[in-house]
Amino acid sequence: MSLRSSLLKAIAVIALAISPALAAPPDGKIEINYHRCDGKYEKWGVHLWKSPNMPLPDIEWPNPMMPTGTNDFGVYWHVDLEEFNTGSKTQVNYIIHKGDIKEQGAKDMAFDGRAHKAIWVVTGDRTIHFSKEEALKEHTCKK
What is the tally of structural domains in the chain? Answer: 1
Q: Is residue 16 part of a domain?
A: no
Q: Can you give 34-53 as a three-state secondary structure string?
A: EECCCCCCCCCEEEEEEECC
| The pLDDT of residue 7 | 47
Residue range 57-104, pLDDT digits in tens: 888 899 999 999 999 999 999 999 999 988 878 999 999 999 999 999
How many Å apart are CA 121 and CA 123, to the nearest integer?
Answer: 7
| The pLDDT of residue 3 | 59
Q: Is residue 125 part of a domain?
A: yes
116 vs 143, higher pLDDT: 116
What percent of the chain lies above the pLDDT cut of 70? 83
Q: Is residue 13 part of a domain?
A: no
| CATH number of 101's domain | 2.60.40.1110
How many Å apart are CA 35 and CA 49, to the nearest integer?
Answer: 22
What number is the average pLDDT over the span 123-133? 94
Q: Yes or no: say if 121 and 33 are a contact pair by the CB < 8 Å rule.
A: yes
Q: Is residue 73 part of a domain?
A: yes
Looking only at the bridges linking them, the beta strands covering 118-122 and 29-35 are: parallel
Q: Is residue 48 part of a domain?
A: yes
| The pLDDT of residue 50 | 87
Domain ranges, residue 50: 25-138
Q: Is residue 98 part of a domain?
A: yes
How many Å apart are CA 83 and CA 100, to the nearest integer?
Answer: 24
| The pLDDT of residue 55 | 81
What percent of the chain lies above the pLDDT cut of 90? 65
